[in-house]
């Protein structure tokens, strides 16, 4: 049996003063409460409760166990409440890295995110190199790429964009206009 559930059943028996009342509070059968207490007693090798048909009392071992058990179960409940609360509402720092040219488009999105998630503090780094997200402790990396390097990271497309090649008429007058993609190798490019 689950030790924690057995500990809770034992505490309820002590608080309620009987197995039937404890079972009602726990929403289980009296037989199940009895199994939990018997399981604890077998594991500990000590009798925790003196039982009669009319009342239940703690043994010396049961009184010591009750004190420790109440503290332990209370601490477990506190830990679960604290962790549960932290997972319900996002909080902390959200580290984002993105390409320099994405800053203008990301700014309004980050401001909206800050408005809806006041407990999260975004920290943005705009740079064009591919950052090592794990080593540099980034939570999110946003990059424009045709193909990304192999990685165990989760990749999601956010948007699609088209590249358009442009040339000034004077440049094309001086150089032949490309007709097939291979012709581009003869031309100069600037970002």
Q: Kindly write down the DSSP assignment for every residue of 11-65, as one continuous string.
A: HHHHHHTSHHHHHHHHTS-HHHHHHHHHHHHHHHTS--EEE-SS-EEE-HHHHHH
* Whether 86 contacts 120, CB under 8 Å: no
Q: Give the strand pairing for 92-98 and 120-126.
A: parallel
pLDDT at 191 over 60: no
Structural domain includes residue 185 = no
Would you give the distance in Å from CA 106 to the centre of its chain? 24
pLDDT 10s digits, 37-83: 999 999 999 999 998 878 899 999 999 999 999 999 999 988 888 87
Query: Is residue 53, in this structure, part of any structural domain at all?
Result: yes
What's the average model confidence in pLDDT over 121-137? 89
3 state SS of 143: coil
CB atoms within 10 A of CB 13: 29
Mean per-residue pLDDT for 144-156? 76
Model confidence, pTM: 0.47
Query: Is residue 66 in a domain?
Result: yes
Q: Identify whether residues 70 and 103 lie together within a single domain.
A: no
pLDDT tens digit sequence for 88-98: 677 889 999 99
Q: Which helix (H) or strand (E) holds 142?
A: strand 140-142
9-13, 41-45, 146-150, 173-177: range with lowest mean pLDDT: 146-150
pLDDT band at 87 (very low <50, low <70, confident <90, very high): low
Q: How many domains does the chain have?
A: 2
118 and 143 belong to one structural domain: yes
For residue 159, give the CATH number of its domain: 3.40.190.10
Domain assignment present for residue 178? The answer is no
Per-residue pLDDT for 188 more than 90? no
Residue 134's pLDDT band (cuts 50, 70, 90)? confident
Specify the pLDDT at position 60.
Answer: 94
Asked if residue 180 is part of any domain, the answer here is no
Q: How far is CA 176 from the centre of its chain?
A: 57
Domain that holds residue 67: 3-87
Quick one: 33 and 53 in the same domain?
yes
Exposed/middle/buried for residue 126 (C-beta within 10 Å: 0-12, 13-18, 19+):
middle
Q: Are 9 and 37 in contact (CB under 8 A)?
A: yes
- The predicted pLDDT at position 10 comes to 94
Continuous segment of H or E residues that includes residue 146: none
């Amino acid at each position: 049996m689950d030790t924690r559930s057995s500990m809770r059943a034992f505490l309820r028996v002590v608080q309620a003063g009987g197995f039937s009342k404890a079972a009602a509070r726990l929403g289980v059968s009296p037989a199940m409460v009895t199994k939990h207490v018997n399981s604890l007693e077998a594991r500990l090798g000590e009798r925790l409760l003196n039982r009669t048909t009319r009342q239940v009392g703690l043994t010396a071992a049961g009184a010591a166990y009750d004190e420790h058990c109440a503290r332990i179960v209370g601490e477990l409940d506190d830990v679960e409440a604290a962790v549960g609360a932290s997972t319900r509402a996002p909080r902390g720092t959200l580290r984002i890295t993105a390409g320099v040219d994405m800053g203008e488009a990301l700014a309004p999105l980050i401001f909206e995110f800050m408005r809806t998630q006041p407990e999260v503090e975004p920290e943005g780094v705009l740079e064009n190199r591919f950052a090592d997200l794990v080593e540099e402790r980034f939570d999110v990396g946003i990059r424009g790429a045709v193909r990304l390097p192999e990685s165990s990271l989760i990749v999601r497309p956010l948007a699609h964009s088209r590249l358009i090649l442009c040339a000034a008429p004077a440049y094309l007058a001086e150089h032949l206009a490309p007709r097939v993609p291979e012709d581009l190798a003869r031309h100069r490019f600037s970002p």
